[in-house]
Amino acid sequence: NFNFLIKSNVCKGKPNPLLLILVLSKAENARQRHAIRSTYGSVVRDVNLVFLFGKTNSSEMESLVQKEADVFGDIVQADFVESYYNLTYKVLMGFKWVKHFCPGAINIMKADEDTFMDIPRLTNIMASTDMTNIIYGHFHFADDVDRKVEKTKVVMEAFPFKYYLPHVKGNMYFMSKTLAFQILELSEYFPYVNIEDAHITGTL
């Protein structure tokens, strides 16, 4: 469980966007956020965007994050530690924020900050497709589960199988709000798996 440190009111002026984009970011990557705000993040019709953060160990960096949040109003931060291991928490935190602070959003996209996309084309797909039980993204089938490399290893207690379930890769995927909320609820009943895309879009 976690608490929000910065909540963002980005949906106050646009409470029912066709698409709400959740960009996973790090405090030190201000340049990437600037690039996103000045490119696909500047698409304002039917689209809202927020950047998701964990908590850093630097009071100076935390101060800079708060200042950036005050200026742009598009930052959401929770009190878990910023780390690769916690990426699954970060996505679930984004879903939780949507549930409490932007429940009128129709579709939700998760994106990495180094991924750029054609937002008008994607929103056209959403507007013309039944998104009820669909996750759009780059499909992967039966990837090996890593047990050795420290950054990406998964313990047997969390996921005791040799291969991940079919899933979409984590650089970008989108789904309906309803499906995201179902995933958020299901996450409470499954062991935590630190490989975000395989867990969020496969196991859950």
- Residue-wise pLDDT for 176-194, tens only, equals 999 999 999 999 999 999 9
What confidence tens digit (pLDDT) does each residue in 3-19 have?
999 999 999 989 999 99
Summarised one tens digit per residue, pLDDT across range 29-68 is 999 999 999 999 998 789 999 999 999 999 999 999 999 9
Q: Coil, helix or strand for 110?
A: strand
Which of these, 184, 141, 182, lies nearest to 165 by C-alpha position? 141
Mean pLDDT of the chain: 95
Question: Stretch 143-167: mean pLDDT, rounded?
Answer: 94
Give CA torsion, residues 169, 72, 177, 181, to 10 deg: 80
Predicted pLDDT of residue 69? 98
CB atoms within 10 A of CB 81: 11
Topology (CATH) of 4-136+170-191? Spore Coat Polysaccharide Biosynthesis Protein SpsA; Chain A (3.90.550)
Every domain of the chain and the residues it spans: 4-136+170-191
* Mean predicted confidence (pLDDT) in 89-110: 98
Which of 100, 56, 112, 51 has its CA nearest to residue 80? 56
Binning pLDDT at 50, 70 and 90, where does residue 168 land?
very high
Asked whether residue 108 carries a pLDDT value surpassing 80, the answer given is yes
> From edge to edge, which strands make up the β-sheet containing 167-176?
4-6, 75-81, 47-55, 19-24, 107-112, 167-176, 135-140
Q: How far is residue 122 CA from its own chain's centroid?
A: 17
Mean pLDDT value across residues 21-35: 97
When pLDDT is cut at 50, 70 and 90, the band that residue 141 belongs to is confident
pLDDT category at 2 given cuts 50, 70, 90 is confident
- Give the pLDDT band of residue 146 (cuts 50, 70, 90): very high
pTM: 0.96
Mean pLDDT within 54-83: 97
The DSSP H or E segment spanning 64 is helix 59-72
pLDDT of the residue at 40: 95
Interatomic CA distance for residues 91 and 39, integer angstroms: 23
Mean pLDDT of 167-181: 97
Give the pLDDT score at 1: 78
pLDDT at 30: 97
